Structures are given as structure tokens and as C-alpha cells.
Structure 1
Amino acid sequence: MQLVKWDNTLTLGVEPFDDHHKHLVCLLNETYDLFIAGEKPSSLEEVIDELIDYATYHFSSEELWMVKLNYPKQEEHKKQHEEFSSRVVNFQRDLIQKGSTSTLEVLSFLQRWLVEHIKHSDGEYSRFIHNG
């Protein structure tokens, strides 16, 4: 079962970022599948680690690209990335230290944040480059 279904509302028409977003959605859905299957926190840790690593790579790529294009909202966008990363690292720390965290809360946050961020914040840079 998919927590996030990829559809045209998530497509920005900006490569390679559409591919990055698809991969992030895939990792989120993989985490959700493990949760639904009742996997142990250690299994979830691996996928969350990969999600964090890939999000970090994606955010860096996006931010460098914004600098090159002189995107006017690059600082605001970078701050959103930093807030997301901080929140996810806190979830990860709770999972590792306490052996548990509200996985459903984490998945719900990730799903909401990712979809809204792609549609709105990333949508703004898409409109910026496509509309000049």
C-alpha cells in the first residue's frame, strides 16, 4: 500500500528533481510498508537512515541549483529544508535511543511535509524557471 501516490500534481518539469522526489516518495512508501508489516524499529532505522541521506543529497542539489539560477526565495527554501532535516533527525534519535517513537506520527509528518513542500515551495521554483 502506498502512503503517497505519485501523480502529475507532484511533477514539476524540472530534472533531475522530479526523479529525486520520486525516489523520496518511494523511500517513504517503503518505510510505511515496513511499519504496516509490523517490522522492528531496527528495520525502520535503516530505511529512515537512507531517507535522511537521500533528502540531504537532494536538498544540497536543489540549493546549489537555486544559487546558480539566482532564485529569489532560495534562503526561505533552504530554511524549510533545515527545519525538515532537524525534525527528522530528532525522530531518528528518539527511535535509536528509546527504541521507539510514534512511527505513525513520523510517517504522517513526512507524508504531509513532502507533498506540501513539492506542490508549494518546489512548485514556486518550477514556475520561476518556466515563466522566466
Structure 2
Amino acid sequence: MSFIEWTEEMSVKAPVLDGHHRMIIDCLNQLHPLLETKGDGADIRAVMAKLEDFVLVHFAEEEREMKQAGFPDWRAHKDLHDRMYDVVFSLKSDIERGKVLDARHLFDLLNDWLVTHILGEDQKYVPFIAGHDHQPVAQWRRSNGKDV
């Protein structure tokens, strides 16, 4: 897996959440070479602890923002976060047990998920959180294949 580069296309138009995304990307970019070279275990654990902290803070803040903004699919989005946190926790556990091959696989999964999630799922709440282009909830649900 290659490094993730932040692009404006990833922006959710909320500076705090964009900052979180950048910090998570930075952690993954720090972790990548450490896993590839089987770097120092203490360094890997330190980056993983930072990643886990950022993920927990970010998910909680993003979910709070979605609820406050009236984003109708916030519960489904939270479910995605819960599943991804399980991957982060598994990655951390594999690293702590010295299972580097499994850790690399989980790292690749996490990298792919993060980019896909930011560019796909997170973009769905942008009109609600950014405070522009609001559409009524019923209209949003119809346009996204949800029952009204």
C-alpha cells in the first residue's frame, strides 16, 4: 500500500473534521514504513496509540456533528465507524502480538477504507454540516433510495 495524500476532494468543508482526517492520514503514513521494514516495536505501538486516539475522537465528533445537523443517515454512518474501529483495534492487537503479516493486511484494508469512506460516505453529510445546499430530509431520503 502506498502513502495517502490529502486532496481538497477529500474535504468535508468542516475544518475540525478535515483536521482529524489529516491526522489519521498522517498516522497511517507514519505507520506504513514501520510495518514494511518491521521497524521498532515501540515506534509502531506509539503510532498505533495515536491512531486509535485520533479515530475515537474523530468518530465521536463526526457523529455528534451529523446528529446536530440533522443528517438522516447518521446511525448507518455510526455503524460503519464501529466496524472500522474494530479493524483499528485488530490492527493494534496484531502488532502487539508481533503478527506483522496480519497487521500489513489490516493496514491495507484500513488505508483503502479510509479513502473510500472520506470520498464516499463522508461526502454525503457535507451539505448538512457545511450549512449550504440544505435539502429537506424527505427529499434527501428519496434521492438516496430511503423510505420517506
Both proteins in one fold, TM over 0.5: yes
CA distance in 1 between counterparts of 2:91 and 2:21 reads 21
Give the root-mean-square deviation of aligned CA atoms.
1.6
- Computing the radius of gyration from Cα coordinates, the structure with the larger value is 2
Matched, 1:85 2:93: no
CA distance in 2 between counterparts of 1:94 and 1:33 reads 17
CA distance in 2 between counterparts of 1:31 and 1:93 reads 14
CA distance in 2 between counterparts of 1:112 and 1:60 reads 21
Residue 138 of structure 2 corresponds to which residue in structure 1?
A: none
CA distance in 1 between counterparts of 2:124 and 2:107 reads 25
| Contact residue 30 and residue 47 of structure 1 kept, 8 A | yes
How far off its partner does 1:94 sit?
2.4
* TM-score, normalization by structure 1: 0.88
Gaps of 5+ in 2: 135-148
Residue 98 of structure 2 corresponds to which residue in structure 1?
A: 99
Gaps of 5+ in 1: none
| Contact residue 41 and residue 100 of structure 1 kept, 8 A | no
* TM-score, normalization by structure 2: 0.80
How far off its partner does 1:37 sit?
4.0
SS at match of 2:99: coil
Identity across aligned pairs (percent)? Answer: 25
| Bigger relative contact order, structure 1 or 2 (CA pairs below 8 A, ≥6 apart) | 1
| Contact residue 91 and residue 101 of structure 1 kept, 8 A | no
